[in-house]
Chain A
Amino acid sequence: MDRRSFLKAGVGAAGFAAAGVSAPAYSQAANRTLRFVPQSNLANFDPIWGTQYVVRNASAMVWDTLYGVNDKLEPQPQMIEGETISSDGLTWTFKLRSGLRFHDGEPVRAKDVVASINRWMPRDPMGQMVRAIQKELVAVDDTTFRWVLGSPYPKLKYALGKTNTPICFIMPERIATKFDSFTQITEYVGSGPMKFVKEAWVPGASAVFQKFDQYVPRNEAPSWLAGGKRMGVDRVEWVVMPDPATAAAALQNGEVDWWENPISDLVPLMRRNRNIRLDIADPLGNIGSFRMNHLHAPFNSKKVRQAVLAAMSQEDYMRALVGTDDALWKPLPGFFTPGTPGYTEAGGDILKGPRNMDLAKRLLQEGGYNNEPVICIVAQDQPITKAQGDITADLLKRMGMNVDFVATDWGTTGQRRAMKNPPNNGGWGMFHTWHAGADCVNPAAYNALRGTGQQAWFGWPESKGVEDGVTEWFNAPDTAAEKVALDKINTAAIDDVVYAPTGFFLGYTAWRSNVTGIQKGPLPFFWGVNKA
């Protein structure tokens, strides 16, 4: 027992005695509450309207999913009892498992599922694909719904169970139909293992989740979004801490139990504390991105973009991000997440070996670079973009490019990167971002890799090779065919330089030694976590 707890216990004992409550009972209640420091503020709580990761992470406790991917990236039934698929692969009939209830006490019915899917589809890349081929989505009875497609979509279960935002969470029909995908909900009723305590929500400071006693978990062992979501604590309190040093101190002091994403600078400090455990948070990690504007000079030239690949040192980027800890990064001569079945280095030679500044300069010349300013939009309030931006400014200068470094914040970056104007008229040349590795395991939700030109993600790359590969992947009948398609995508994406990957990096998560059951994964899973 620490000093302050001891002092408090002395004072508390008298208080408990007066109140007729035993001190051990109070202690037990405290042990049933998990205090968690999330990666950022829970500023809104609609997982379809707001697709930030922090919203998804909180939502996974409150709303349940039809399927859930496990740690092998395989979709497993979650709310679904089973499904039947017609021989032509066009008609899917799903049956809900029994005992499912919303937090308001109402049973989960097929019509709730249909309404939720309809709200989810317009916001999700895979949902949009399904909607484009959908002929019918109807509730057959209270526990059965049918989905009829115009052409086969083998990845349907993956789409319904993936971890990428937006996840297809199921909410009551009255809410899902009242608010369209672009309007924020005001009632937070799910059927997941925890209820959201709206009255205790102070955006920017705290959020509270209370165990839902009527939740019926599956019998299987928990694995990511799949399996039995059994809560080991009665209450989860999210404590938002904008300052990493404060979060580290609070964890050391036992004021919080679990810190989602400690910064690498503070990891050595926490390693020295015997009451703290540290491990890689998400083996799928993140991919750093140097995103170029394909519409305007200089990066409208493929050779100029390739010059960046020839010159860039991923090690420089990664060390700027994670410091000297070699366990936290890997070079990435490609676009798919290392350690997953989709990983490939096909066509990635230009990113391997010693960096070739002479080649880069030659490519710049061949690409017709004429000293146009490269407007680098670098968000300073995001450590990941700031660190990458500093490396890029130096890199481009060494290549002989004319760098116009615009130091700004993430909110401004979000606005400016959407502008297609020429760089000298409010547009831009490049910006940095990063992609969660879970989003990059395959092309399903990988918007940033698409090469659809004006319809593509910011930067608007056009790559026929990538698009052909993506189509092949979606139609692939087996994993071997998928692998061929992924090789094709990777090769084309590097050749056209859809974007320049700056490397693969991981992060830690940290918790008190009295907490057990923390899973490694793309989001913090609270089921199975216990506190002694």
Chain B
Amino acid sequence: MFAYIVRRVLATIPVMAIVALFVFSLLYIAPGDPAAVIAGDQATPDDVERIRASLGLDRPYLVRFGAWVWDIANGDLGVSIFTNLPVSTMIQQRIEPTLSLMIVTLILAVSIAVPMGVMAAWRQGTWIDRAVMGFAVLGFSVPVFVVGYVLAYIFALELDWLPVQGYTPLSRGFWPWFENLILPSVALGSVYIALIARITRATMLEVLQQDYIRTARAKGLNQSGILFLHALKNAAVPIITVIGLGIALLIGGAVVTESVFAIPGLGRLTVDAILRRDYPVIQGVVLLFSFIYVLVNLAIDLAYTLFDPRIRY
């Protein structure tokens, strides 16, 4: 197992290198000019050219790529073209809100979607099943920002129970932190809940047809024990796979959710950087997301062994 983990961690290096090359090249060939954005609308072409030169954007591709890779190898993600702040500082400022949003969403989604899926499978064909599937269709169909606006309207504007926007760091207390995350997590989690609930239902339906479930029932085991201890454990591998894949969905959804609820997270940082062509920030954030995604996949692979003893690395 340990050797496997080491191998997988080492395998992230070429993956990250390819991501780095891809992102850098894509940004190099993409249209847009940060110097023009910095200079403002009144600037003359000469001003723009001078700013471009001062930022080193007039250097050849290989020189710029070489310098960037050298900095990365030395643990330096570079400095934002616009803010003049180190990219690592900007990521540090933004990572807590995004991680908080993703963790709360993940907990919320799994704790709601898995029981929903199990119940739907157990009561297949009944109104419970249809209600769960109806909810899943809604979750897939209604965009995250629409869910966000509706929730904000009801719970913030009309009922005045929760804030409309913003983020409070956890260091200022649990409730202020959690209060700001409830609506965004529900909004972001809606599609995630739908996805996990559907997969849980489908997998559970398959498992519940197995002989050992019939045997368990024949032996007189209670229903909840059969569902959650025997069936769910055996259905867990595909569910965990989907939860892991859904992390990418969360990262994408966080961009929209952070904008709707004005949460100063990495999603908004990425969008702002792309619109302004702040290359060092885009490169740094994409590398970070790639790294997180690689690690999540590793964690999922390792989690398989907990649920299926036949899987060994």
Chain B residues lying within 8 Å of A445, measured Cβ to Cβ, are 42
| CB of B146, distance to nearest CB on chain A (Å) | 11
A418–B47 CA distance with the chains assembled, in angstroms: 11
Chain B residues lying within 8 Å of A51, measured Cβ to Cβ, are 39-40, 42-43
Determine if A241 is an interface residue (Cβ-Cβ < 8 Å): yes
Contact of B42 among A206, A255, A439 (CB under 8 A): A439
Once the chains bind, are A206 and B32 in contact (CB under 8 Å)? no
Chain B residues lying within 8 Å of A415, measured Cβ to Cβ, are 31-33, 36
| CB of A411, distance to nearest CB on chain B (Å) | 4
Once the chains bind, are B276 and A184 in contact (CB under 8 Å)? no
Q: How many residues of B contact A (CB 8 A)?
A: 54
| CB of B52, distance to nearest CB on chain A (Å) | 10
Determine if A397 is an interface residue (Cβ-Cβ < 8 Å): no
Most buried by A among B36, B47, B50: B36
A49–B276 CA distance with the chains assembled, in angstroms: 15
Contact with B along A297-332 (1 / 0, CB 8 A): 000000000000000000000000000000000000
| CB of B198, distance to nearest CB on chain A (Å) | 30
Determine if B41 is an interface residue (Cβ-Cβ < 8 Å): yes
Contact (A447, B38) CB under 8 Å given A253-B157, A412-B32: no
Chain A residues lying within 8 Å of B21, measured Cβ to Cβ, are none
Interface residues of A in 135-171 (CB under 8 A from B): 164-165
| CB of B256, distance to nearest CB on chain A (Å) | 9
Contact (A44, B40) CB under 8 Å given A240-B262, A381-B275: no
| CB of B149, distance to nearest CB on chain A (Å) | 6
Determine if B94 is an interface residue (Cβ-Cβ < 8 Å): yes
| CB of A304, distance to nearest CB on chain B (Å) | 23
Chain B residues lying within 8 Å of A186, measured Cβ to Cβ, are 84
Once the chains bind, are A43 and B164 in contact (CB under 8 Å)? no
| CB of B312, distance to nearest CB on chain A (Å) | 46
Determine if B165 is an interface residue (Cβ-Cβ < 8 Å): yes
Once the chains bind, are A250 and B268 in contact (CB under 8 Å)? no
| CB of B62, distance to nearest CB on chain A (Å) | 21
Determine if B126 is an interface residue (Cβ-Cβ < 8 Å): no
Chain A residues lying within 8 Å of B45, measured Cβ to Cβ, are 418, 458
Chain B residues lying within 8 Å of A458, measured Cβ to Cβ, are 45
A123–B43 CA distance with the chains assembled, in angstroms: 8
Chain A residues lying within 8 Å of B262, measured Cβ to Cβ, are 205, 239-243, 246-247, 250
A184–B84 CA distance with the chains assembled, in angstroms: 7
Binding site for A on B (CB under 8 A): 31-34, 36-45, 47-48, 50-51, 53-54, 80, 82-85, 90, 93-94, 149, 152-153, 156-157, 159-166, 259-262, 264, 268-269, 271-272, 275-278
- 22 intermolecular pairs with C-beta atoms under 8 Å apart: A2-B160, A43-B82, A43-B272, A43-B276, A49-B38, A165-B40, A182-B51, A186-B84, A204-B269, A206-B264, A239-B166, A242-B272, A246-B259, A246-B261, A250-B166, A253-B156, A253-B160, A409-B275, A411-B32, A411-B36, A414-B32, A448-B42
Identify 4 new A-B residue pairs, CB closer than 8 A, beyond the known A186-B84, A433-B41: A184-B84, A203-B90, A239-B262, A457-B44
- 10 closest cross-chain pairs (CB), A and B: A414-B36, A205-B264, A415-B33, A51-B40, A411-B32, A3-B160, A412-B31, A43-B82, A249-B164, A203-B83
Binding site for B on A (CB under 8 A): 2-4, 41, 43-44, 49-53, 123, 125, 164-165, 182-184, 186, 202-206, 239-243, 245-247, 249-250, 252-253, 255, 381, 408-412, 414-418, 433, 435, 439, 445, 447-448, 455, 457-458
